[in-house]
Structure 1
Amino acid sequence: MRNFIKNLGPGILVSAAFIGPGTVTVCTLAGVEFGYGLLWALLLSILSCLVLQEMAARLGIISQKGLSEVLREEIKHPVVKILALTLIFSAIVIGNASYEAGNITGAVLGAEALFGVQKLQLGDFSLNLWSLLIGAIAFALLYSGNYKRLEKIFIGLVLLMSFSFVLTAILTRPNLTALLKGFVPSINSTTGLLGVMAIVGTTVVPYNLFLHASLVSEKWKSPSALPIARKELLVSILLGGMVSMAILVSAASAGFSNIDSAASMAVSLEPLFGSYATWFMSLGLMAAGITSSITAPLAAAYVVKGCFGWNGGLRAAKFKMIWAFVLLMGVFFSSLKINPIEIIRFAQVANGILLPVIAIFLFWIANKASVLGENRNSKWQNLLGAIVIAIAMFLGFKAILSVLQNF
């Protein structure tokens, strides 16, 4: 057990990355609108995440390289290589810079529910001090370049999220019979289908595939570490899945019908279940925002490093320049409450295309003996991978259509 705890890290960061404000909000709204009815979709998303993240972890440990670096080396056709790397660069770097505002804002909403609104008026502009503080915390942790310190911080934050959201779910006293029925697959309407898409899409995150491959290559240097990496990933993703389910169960059990975000649910819980429920929900939301506000810039930096073949790790100047850009954009948009609509639309379209494309590229790499040798995909891994890719292609197609319909 002591050896297992010592090896916790990369999987925990991946788990913390997908439990961001987006996941908290999606699971909250799913619980409010459909009750326990989409728990099966959440379970499906967790299994899909495990399949793809295991491939990414295996690639990182065996090749000792990040996913974008391997793609740059293995895609031989110059035109295909340029198109693939441009798509990845655009979607991850620009997309993460856009979504970083949402990550920081999620943490801000949690902080405001606990400690109130804190603003600084500068002429006609009003700066949210919580945005600046959370951005400063993320900047300090990333700037230190200490991977072991990051691991410890994330383990603490994930445990805080788990504690907060699970206790909130218990306080709302769920109906166990109805909860168990929620694991039986069913879709009753078009809205239900959109709910399934949102849940799977917010759990199987494209940038996590890049982040995980890079993190495991830095933590473990021998193929003998593959079994412990798989165990660590399994525990971390299941823990993240439990947190997501707890959020959905809390929203479903509370019986609200006019909740539009996790922050508003946190405030609404107090009259029914006491101040503790509000505190637990708000603490969890704040922790979710902080973890995602660190992992999104980190993933963007790893992607750029691989695309351009840069040397050096967390302490390299170029590496710091990329994550600092993503983080500062997030702080700026969050503190001024600017909504970069066109950038976000571009990011949605790019990520809608990116998920199935990256899943296919990862599947292709995972079957290459020249890269993974005897650790390439087995028949069962190929079967599971093909199923996940089919789901990713369907979700990607639907995501693109939904964005185009809004133009």
Structure 2
Amino acid sequence: MIQSTALSRIPALKLFQDSVKKNGLRFTLKRIVTFLGPAFLVSVGYMDPGNWATDIEGGSRFGYTLLWVILASNLMAILMQTLSAKLGLATGKTLPELCREQYSKPVAIFLWGTAELAAIATDLAEVLGGAVAFHLLFGIPLFVGALITGVIVGLILMLEEHNFRYVELTIISMVAIIGVAYLVEIFLARPDWGQLAFHTVAPQLPGGSVLVAVGIIGATVMPHNLYLHSALIQSRRGDDLAANRRALTLAKLDSIIALNGAWLVNSAIMIMSAAVFHTNGLQVISIEDAHRTLQPLLGPLSAGAFAIALLASGLSSSTTATMAGQVIMDGFLRARVNVWLRRAVTILPALIVIGLGLDPLRILILSQVSLSFQLPLAMIPLILFTRNKSLMGEFANKRLTTALAFISAGLIIALNVLLVWQTLVG
């Protein structure tokens, strides 16, 4: 069986894999619970501060109308993340490793450079989100909040050297905090359940909503998540074909549970915004505005839950963005960078942005636009690799899966291009 260099250089992942080999992958409740984790780490990228800004704006401007967009984008995300997990299970290699091996050196270097820029742009948004959360909760200056965010993320990642499961459980706990916080928000907001249910399944695009819808879909499948999932899933590999078949089934279950959780959170953000802001005739276009407006409308509990959830979102998504950066460098260059050096590299842009006094929301939007350029460079190789029978064996995509993947990729790429165009030309 092929051993991934990414896996061999992370001792805790290797220990977890050895446990899977020893105990098997029987479909017991304990085994299923033990298996869950990789997709939960990936799912935080779908609840990051960038998604918050888009969902809040959509809900405040258009009410419940765009809930169907969140559902549609989530279905595409489940498909693409499942392909990433399948690639890691079938080949024992990460998406960056296969790009390095299958493409010429100049192409691989180009892909590495764009992937690194995407990882830095992603982490920029996450660090800014954490800094804003610290400011909202404790009045800490954004610059100091960004530094604190970077230090906490570095400490979380240090758990990797002891037991990677601790990192997974930490992230899952943060996801749970976000979910509980938004249960509180929904309870306090008292939404119109009939309208909510209708607009979740009834596609509509009211006038002026196209750009917001494009933003929701265009930011759904983030390139760093496709790289990361293909690495994390390898800790769940078995040592024979039957074990890997069971592992793939559990990986699909992991993705469905985790990404549907992300869908519920994103829907809850838009529902809260629609019920509180849109109903009261308020258009809120920034995270800070949302927090400032919640307290007089729903009270301090709502504003506090909002800020706590934002902090959990910023910390968890920044953690996984840093992990993705490690996977990218390890896969493309066979080099592993010290976690603190990696944090320093990725946090520096956020500190520069804050130090220059630039608008965090504007920078967040620009960071999402930059991801649009890199997204096809991760999606297309993923689809091509997973349809390749010489690489995947019996795990190669069926024709329908490949067709759906290309349709999803084409739609997302087209919408990202439209998003970039409308952002640049206004």
Corresponding residue for 1:303?
A: 328
Corresponding residue for 2:134?
A: 111
* Pair 1:207-2:231 in alignment: no
Corresponding residue for 1:287?
A: 312
* Pair 1:186-2:204 in alignment: yes
Corresponding residue for 2:275?
A: 253
Provide Cα deviations, 1:81-136, integer angstroms capped at 9, x if missing partner: 523541x3333322332342321221222232222x224xxxxxxx7322222211
Structure 1 pair 166–84 and aligned structure 2 pair: CA distance change class (3 A): farther
**Is the Cα–Cα contact under 8 Å of residues 132 and 331 in structure 1 kept in the other structure?**
no
Deviation at 1:278, TM superposition (A): 1.0
Alpha-carbon separation, structure 2, partners of 1:131 and 1:145: 22
1:3-402 matched pairs, under 5 angstroms: 3-75=31-103, 78=104, 82-83=106-107, 85-86=109-110, 88-115=111-138, 117-119=139-141, 128-146=143-161, 147-183=164-200, 184-189=202-207, 191-222=208-239, 223=244, 224-256=246-278, 257-310=282-335, 316=336, 318=337, 320=339, 323-330=342-349, 332-333=351-352, 336=355, 339=358, 351-402=371-422
Is 204-213 or 383-392 further displaced after alignment?
A: 383-392
Alpha-carbon separation, structure 2, partners of 1:167 and 1:108: 23
Structure 1 pair 169–91 and aligned structure 2 pair: CA distance change class (3 A): farther
**Is the Cα–Cα contact under 8 Å of residues 96 and 332 in structure 2 kept in the other structure?**
yes
Query: How many residues are paired up?
Result: 386
Deviation at 1:201, TM superposition (A): 1.8
Structure 1 pair 396–203 and aligned structure 2 pair: CA distance change class (3 A): closer
Deviation at 1:268, TM superposition (A): 1.4
**Is the Cα–Cα contact under 8 Å of residues 262 and 285 in structure 1 kept in the other structure?**
no
Structure 1 pair 326–219 and aligned structure 2 pair: CA distance change class (3 A): farther
**Is the Cα–Cα contact under 8 Å of residues 300 and 322 in structure 1 kept in the other structure?**
no
1:97 corresponds to which letter in structure 2?
I
Alpha-carbon separation, structure 2, partners of 1:321 and 1:90: 20
Structure 1 pair 10–238 and aligned structure 2 pair: CA distance change class (3 A): same
Provide Cα deviations, 1:110-165, integer angstroms capped at 9, x if missing partner: 232222x224xxxxxxx732222221101112234342221010010000001111
2:287 corresponds to which letter in structure 1?
A
**Is the Cα–Cα contact under 8 Å of residues 164 and 283 in structure 1 kept in the other structure?**
yes
Alpha-carbon separation, structure 1, partners of 2:357 and 2:384: 40
Corresponding residue for 1:122?
A: none
Deviation at 1:175, TM superposition (A): 0.6
Deviation at 1:346, TM superposition (A): 8.6
2:402 corresponds to which letter in structure 1?
N
Deviation at 1:319, TM superposition (A): 5.5
Is 301-310 or 208-217 further displaced after alignment?
A: 301-310
Deviation at 1:323, TM superposition (A): 2.6
**Is the Cα–Cα contact under 8 Å of residues 69 and 306 in structure 1 kept in the other structure?**
yes
Deviation at 1:293, TM superposition (A): 1.4
Structure 1 pair 348–27 and aligned structure 2 pair: CA distance change class (3 A): closer
Corresponding residue for 2:5?
A: none
Structure 1 pair 345–155 and aligned structure 2 pair: CA distance change class (3 A): closer
Gapped regions of structure 2 (runs ≥ 5): 1-28
Structure 1 pair 241–218 and aligned structure 2 pair: CA distance change class (3 A): same
Provide Cα deviations, 1:294-316, integer angstroms capped at 9, x if missing partner: 11121122112111134xxxxx4
**Does the residue aligned with 1:182 lie in a helix, a strand or coil?**
helix
Structure 1 pair 348–21 and aligned structure 2 pair: CA distance change class (3 A): closer
Structure 1 pair 338–329 and aligned structure 2 pair: CA distance change class (3 A): farther
Root-mean-square deviation (CA, aligned residues, Å) is: 2.5
Deviation at 1:336, TM superposition (A): 2.4
Is 159-168 or 135-144 further displaced after alignment?
A: 135-144
1:358 corresponds to which letter in structure 2?
A
Gapped regions of structure 1 (runs ≥ 5): 120-126, 311-315
Provide Cα deviations, 1:338-385, integer angstroms capped at 9, x if missing partner: 549999899666532322332221111011111110011013312321
Q: TM-score, normalised by structure 2?
A: 0.84
Structure 1 pair 153–41 and aligned structure 2 pair: CA distance change class (3 A): same
**Does the residue aligned with 1:226 lie in a helix, a strand or coil?**
helix
1:284 corresponds to which letter in structure 2?
A
Alpha-carbon separation, structure 1, partners of 2:184 and 2:363: 37
